[in-house]
Amino acid sequence: MRWDLARTLEQEHGLRERTIVDTLYGSETWQKLEIGIGDRAAWLDEAHRILEAAAGRELPRLHQHWRDRQHLIAPNIDLIRRLRATYKTAVLSNADSTLVYRLRDAHGIHGLFDDVVCSADVGMAKPDPRIYALAAQRIGLPPEACVFIDDLAQNVDAARGAGMHGVHFLVNEHSLEEQLAALGVRAADERRG
């Protein structure tokens, strides 16, 4: 997630830090949707109403503006492609049921992964320890052979608690390739030809 882009939107509209994120992902409606219960459109409408209430005024659909401004992180996509020569790759995401569509049709990267575990499709979400075990099982590896990467420290801590190695990655703050190399995970270097 591009938390930096959310902060830019918040500054542009005079909102306190984390207002966009908290109004989108801090509700009971989202907690249900991320495990497959509820309606995506109703969640987005509710989040917008909560955002406007927090601002005390009408606002444009800032949650959608945030999504529209996000883009794939090119160095990480390159890294995933190079990792696939040696390692299995998978997505484990707290997401609504549109995740596979977005990875496949909107971003064209679904084929970079051996599996996609979407919380809404499996009925449980991070940091529930069961979802980490499921993700490892679905790619045929024991948890201790897996490296879990997330932008939320609580999810990384939960993965470690489930037996995985964990990497806390934040865009514009960390190099994912360097973080993985520190764990002994090194990608093939396609540039050497």
Two structure tokens written together for 117: 């575990």
Q: Return per-residue pLDDT of the chain as tens, 193 residues.
A: 688 889 999 999 999 999 999 999 999 999 999 999 999 999 999 999 999 999 999 999 999 999 888 888 899 999 999 999 999 999 999 999 999 999 999 899 999 999 999 999 999 999 999 999 999 999 999 999 999 999 999 999 999 999 999 999 988 788 999 999 999 999 987 544 3
Same domain, yes or no: 63 and 127: no
Residue 67's pLDDT is what? 87
Give the per-residue pLDDT at 130: 98
- Is the domain of 33 the same as that of 120? no
- 11 and 93 belong to one structural domain: no
E-strand ranges in 40-179 read 90-93, 115-118, 147-150, 165-168
> Do residues 134 and 186 share a domain?
yes
Q: Do 61 and 122 reside in the same domain of the chain?
A: no
- Are 58 and 153 contained in the same domain? no
Q: Is 141 helix (H, G, I), strand (E, B) or coil?
A: coil
> Looking at 27, 51, 69, which one is the last position of a domain?
69
Give the CATH number for residue 180.
3.40.50.1000
Q: Which residue in this structure is represented by tokens 């099982």?
A: 137
User: 187 and 110, same structural domain?
Assistant: yes
The Cα–Cα gap between 122 and 11 comes to 36
22, 51, 69 — which closes off a domain? 69
Nearest-angstrom CA–CA distance, 116 and 103: 9
Query: Rounded CA gap, 170 and 3, in Å?
Result: 9
The pTM score is 0.90
Bridge pairing between strands 147-150 and 165-168? parallel
On whether both 42 and 83 belong to a single domain, the answer is: no
First to last CA, the chain: 32
59 and 103 in a single domain? The answer is no
Q: Residue 150 in contact with residue 169, Cβ under 8 Å?
A: yes
Residues 152, 9, 1: CA angle, nearest 5 degrees: 25
Residues 96, 186 share a domain: yes
**Residue-level pLDDT at 17:** 94
Domain that holds residue 97: 74-192
Q: Within this chain, do residues 10 and 90 fall inside the same structural domain, yes or no?
A: no
- The residue type found at 55 is A
In this prediction, residue 190 carries a pLDDT of 52
CA quadruple 116, 117, 119, 124: dihedral, nearest 10: 180
Structural domain ending residue among the three candidates 39, 69, 99: 69
Residues 91 and 62 in one domain: no
pLDDT of residue 184: 95
Provide the number of structural domains found in the chain. Answer: 2
